[in-house]
């Protein structure tokens, strides 16, 4: 009897693996739809047809198309990093912005920029994007700025939102609005200008 019990298949493990694979397929299909047609192309029907995952299963994971689009983009946004503590905080911000533009220029970045564009005309989507993606990432960059202030590279009392807008604003403007090329040299100049303007010695 014990031998027979040990020989029983482990069905729950296979079920969990299958569920994870189906979820990955659904998110990959969503990324393709975002890149091809923007947020309007993302419907639960389209995701189900593209991924082969049943629509009823999709609704168990996400309540609507905005939720699945946000999950897709969140999964594709690499954690904010600056390559470690090496170098000055100016250099760390430069590395961070270069990593951001590499992500936006990648295949995954097409889905991200599509959602950024869509939220301009969809207030509910905009609020969800801000709550789930923008604000948490902003909080991480605020922490790095606070460290730069404590190190004396940025003036005490600096408005964190003004500083972060000064370095991230030009990057997103070129990428999403003007279409001009964002080079490493351009990023270096942006960050250099911000650190000069907000310098403790200024």
Which pLDDT tens digit goes with each residue over 95-154? 999 998 988 888 778 888 888 888 888 888 888 889 888 898 899 899 999 999 999 999
Other beta carbons within 10 Å of 73: 24
Does residue 15 have a pLDDT over 70? no
pLDDT value at residue 165: 96
Task: Name the nearest CA neighbour of 93 among 197, 189, 201.
Answer: 189
pLDDT value at residue 85: 64
Q: Taking residues 178-192, report their average pLDDT.
A: 94
Other beta carbons within 10 Å of 43: 15
Architecture of domain 10-75: Orthogonal Bundle (1.10)
Does residue 190 have a pLDDT over 90? yes
Judged by average pLDDT, the poorest of 16-20, 86-90, 117-121, 161-165 is 16-20
Per the structure block, which two tokens stand in for 32?
């393709």
Q: Taking residues 74-87, report their average pLDDT.
A: 67
Task: Name the nearest CA neighbour of 136 among 39, 70, 188, 88.
Answer: 70
Per the structure block, which two tokens stand in for 66?
């905005």
For 57, 111, 140, 170, 190, the CA distances from 34, given in Å and listed in that order, are 20, 5, 26, 24, 30
Choices 1.10.357.10, 3.30.565.10, 3.40.80.10, 3.40.1160.10: CATH for 79-197: 1.10.357.10
184 vs 86 pLDDT, higher one: 184
Question: CATH 1.10.357.10 residue ranges in the chain?
Answer: 10-75, 79-197
Q: How confident is the model at residue 202 (pLDDT cuts 50, 70, 90)?
A: low
* b/e 151-190 (16+ beta carbons within 10 angstroms → b): eebbeeebeeeebbebbbebbbebbeeeeeebeeebbeeb
């Amino acid at each position: 009897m014990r031998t027979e019990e040990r020989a029983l298949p482990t069905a729950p493990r296979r079920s969990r693996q299958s569920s994870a694979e189906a979820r990955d397929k659904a998110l990959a299909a969503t990324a393709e739809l975002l890149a091809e047609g923007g947020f309007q192309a993302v419907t639960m029907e389209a995701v189900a047809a593209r991924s082969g995952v049943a629509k009823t299963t999709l609704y168990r994971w996400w309540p609507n198309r905005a939720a699945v689009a946000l999950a897709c983009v969140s999964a594709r946004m690499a954690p904010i990093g600056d390559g470690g503590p090496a170098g000055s905080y100016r250099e760390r911000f430069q590395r961070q912005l270069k990593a951001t533009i590499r992500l936006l220029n990648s295949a995954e970045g097409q889905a991200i920029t599509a959602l950024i564009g869509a939220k301009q005309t969809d207030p509910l989507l905009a609020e969800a994007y801000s709550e789930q993606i923008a604000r948490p990432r902003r909080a991480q960059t605020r922490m790095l700025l606070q460290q730069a202030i404590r190190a004396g590279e940025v003036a005490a009392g600096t408005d964190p939102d003004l500083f972060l807008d000064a370095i991230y604003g030009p990057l997103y403007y070129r990428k999403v609005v003007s279409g001009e090329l964002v080079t490493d040299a351009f990023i270096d100049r942006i960050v250099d200008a911000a650190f000069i303007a907000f310098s403790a010695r200024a």
